[in-house]
Amino acid sequence: MQSLQGKCGLIIGVANAQSIAWGCARQLKAAGARSAITYLNAKAENHVRPLAEQIEAELILPCDVEQPGQLEAVFAALEQHWGQLDYLIHSIAYAPLADLHGRLVDCSTAGFLRAMDVSCHSLIRMAKLAEPLMPKGGTLLTMSYLGAERVVEHYGLMGPVKAALESTVRYLAAELAERGIRVHAISPGPMPTRAASGIAHFDTLMQAAMAKSPQHQLATPDDVGQLASFLISDAARVLTGSTHYVDAGYHIMG
């Protein structure tokens, strides 16, 4: 594991102990990084705060990207506390269930726009807020899925949304490179997180991935966290703009 001693950053998306963002938080802590953690609302705080305290998070802040001013307040707190950032992990996504569970052709305009705002445009907003706090460079990471590039049954609306997210990563990487800011998407395989439970027949999807992947296993949030730690480290200084798969090789199978 690469050392992240001296690096500090923000992790958005911890919901509970099964969250991909929590796997990242654990592994970054193990590598020596200092983190700030956010929670969605008062109900979520009951689950997130004990986890954040386990890794000695220096800030534990509310952040609902749909509430005006909350995201900006988080970055203002980061600027006051650290004065700068080395990394940001964006691990949030949302689509209304009625739109997610139906055909893409039937999705509502409001549902599509909300899914795109929370899951994709929020990364752009975070990048804009993070840029002035990364005068010496930094790393932005977001979470995608294989449904961005191929049709995955029951993934529906989130497929086009994640495709937009991966394209956003490439454009941000090109625009922010001159500032020394690197941008990546991580594409984990299916794993039993709360967010994934909203996808219909997800247990079947996990079983199929395990059967079809060359390694015949599922990745874990800690596996994602170990890759995140590497991408944030100085060892990955010449890498940017890519989608990195953590799925036991499932993405290479037709």
Residue type, 215: Q
In degrees, to the nearest 5, what angle opens at C-alpha 157 toward C-alphas 126 and 159? 70
C-alpha dist (Å) from residue 79 to 36, 59, 85: 12, 12, 8
Residue type, 184: H
What are the strands of the beta sheet with 138-143, ordered from one edge? Answer: 59-62, 34-39, 8-12, 87-90, 138-143, 181-188, 243-246
- Catalytic residue of the set 94, 145, 245, 250: 145
Q: With helix as H, strand as E and coil as C, how does 150-199 read?
A: CCCCCCCCHHHHHHHHHHHHHHHHHHHHHHCEEEEEEEECCCCCCCHHHC
**Is residue 250 annotated as a catalytic residue, yes or no?**
no
The residue from 39, 87, 94, 155 that is catalytic is 155
Give the angle 134-140-143 at the CA atoms, nearest 5°: 165
Establish whether 155 is a catalytic residue: yes
Can you tell me the distance from the alpha carbon of 2 to that of 20, in angstroms, rounded to the nearest whole number? 19
Catalytically annotated residues? 145, 155
